Amino acid sequence: MGLGAVAISGAAVIGALVAWPIGRAPDDIDLTGDVRRGAYLARAGGCIACHTNFEKGGAPLAGGAPLKTDFGTFFPPNLTTDPVHGIGGWNVQDFAKAVRQGVSPTGQPYYPTFTYPFYANLTDQDIADLWAAFQTVPPVSEPAPAHDTPFPFNQRWGLKLWRAAFLDRPRTDPVYGNDEQWNRGRLLVEGAAHCAACHTGRNFAGARVSDTQHFQGNNRLPGGGKSPAIDFETLRGRDWTVENLAYALKTGITPSGDALGGTMGEVVLQGTRFLTDEDRKAMAVYLMDEHTGG
């Protein structure tokens, strides 16, 4: 095959990828959302944390601080009710597809910098609640900056290959034989609270290596940070208990009296601090248990 033919078949492959439909049709969601429950979930899930630029005093959900990764710098978009620069023109089906499947209203794949893989098991009621809460956010008619991604990462169709190779389901299914508290902790830790997003190592393609590195820490966090391992053995070896872990998720204070720093400080400040004592305890129970199993 001559070079020209390679180029042509390469172009054909890319053309096919661009046209390759992804995601399932979203289910009809015809439920009344509970604004308070939705706001709670938006805290637990980090939606507010990532999509608000607190440092610059930005309005809630009007677009987040830049996330620097190996693949470029990403700007969490404006999720306010503005019809042009936010998601005011969307319906709950569009929202469900974006959040649970990582697919835009026009069928484009989202970058996994958006932690949608952790939200895949949110229920229809969760989505309806989040949506109801988002409807109460005042419009901000300013766009978030465009992502700054070098070639080839600026080619969204490439994410279709990424999805096919690496997209996994969150490990939130209840485990028979464990009580309600443990399973509630699992649902939060492995799902919405996306602790593995930062505490699990990633491969060359930026995908979490969930089978061998789950909760083993990550030396290359966005922005150059490092996170320690948080598997139960490491935690126990570092004097963590259910009680002091639940307390740290509330206050940011570690057993040795230090403050949790870096992005973990933000996780507490914009996220776990707002959860109920029961939920923080459930997360700690799950994390400290040797049957968590990764």
Q: Which amino acid is at 209?
A: V
Q: Using CB under 6 A, which of the segments 11-19, 21-29, 73-81, 166-174 binds ligand HEC?
A: 73-81
What residue has token string 């419009």? 139
* Shorter beta-carbon distance to ligand HEC: residue 120 or 176: 120
| Residue 93 interacts with ligand HEC (CB under 6 A): yes or no | no
262: CB partners within 8 A, 6+ apart:
221, 225
Sequence length of the chain is 294
CA-CA distance, 294 to 291, in Å (whole number)?
8
C-alpha closest to that of 170 among 195, 189, 191: 191
CA-CA distance, 208 to 225, in Å (whole number)?
16
| Residue 264 interacts with ligand HEC (CB under 6 A): yes or no | yes
| Residue 140 interacts with ligand HEC (CB under 6 A): yes or no | no
45: CB partners within 8 A, 6+ apart:
115, 118, 119, 130, 192, 193, 194
Binding pattern for the stretch 215-234 against ligand HEC, x by CB under 6 A and - elsewhere: ------x---x-xx-x----
Q: Using CB under 6 A, which of the segments 20-28, 95-103, 162-170, 174-182 binds ligand HEC?
A: 95-103
Q: Which amino acid is at 242?
A: V
Binding pattern for the stretch 10-29 against ligand HEC, x by CB under 6 A and - elsewhere: --------------------
What residue has token string 């978009």? 77
| Residue 128 interacts with ligand HEC (CB under 6 A): yes or no | no
Q: How far is the CB of 7 from ligand HEC (least distance, A)?
A: 28
C-alpha closest to that of 221 among 237, 206, 236: 206
CA torsion, ordered 225, 215, 53, 151, to nearest 10 deg: 70
Q: Using CB under 6 A, which of the segments 26-34, 92-100, 173-181, 273-281 binds ligand HEC?
A: 92-100
137: CB partners within 8 A, 6+ apart:
60, 61, 79, 80, 81
Selected from 97, 199, 208, 281, the binder of ligand HEC by CB under 6 A is 199
Q: Could you tell me how far CA 57 lies from the centroid of its own chain?
A: 22
Q: How far is the CB of 95 from ligand HEC (least distance, A)?
A: 6
Burial of residue 246 (number of CB atoms within 10 Å: 0-12, 13-18, 19+): buried
* Shorter beta-carbon distance to ligand HEC: residue 154 or 203: 154
| Residue 172 interacts with ligand HEC (CB under 6 A): yes or no | no
Selected from 29, 31, 59, 260, the binder of ligand HEC by CB under 6 A is 260
* Shorter beta-carbon distance to ligand HEC: residue 93 or 104: 104
| Residue 182 interacts with ligand HEC (CB under 6 A): yes or no | no
| Residue 125 interacts with ligand HEC (CB under 6 A): yes or no | no
Give me the residues that bind ligand HEC (CB under 6 A), please. 42, 45-47, 50-51, 67, 74, 76-77, 79, 87, 95, 98-99, 104, 110-111, 113-115, 119, 130, 189, 193-195, 197-199, 221, 225, 227-228, 230, 238, 245, 260-264, 267, 272, 283, 287
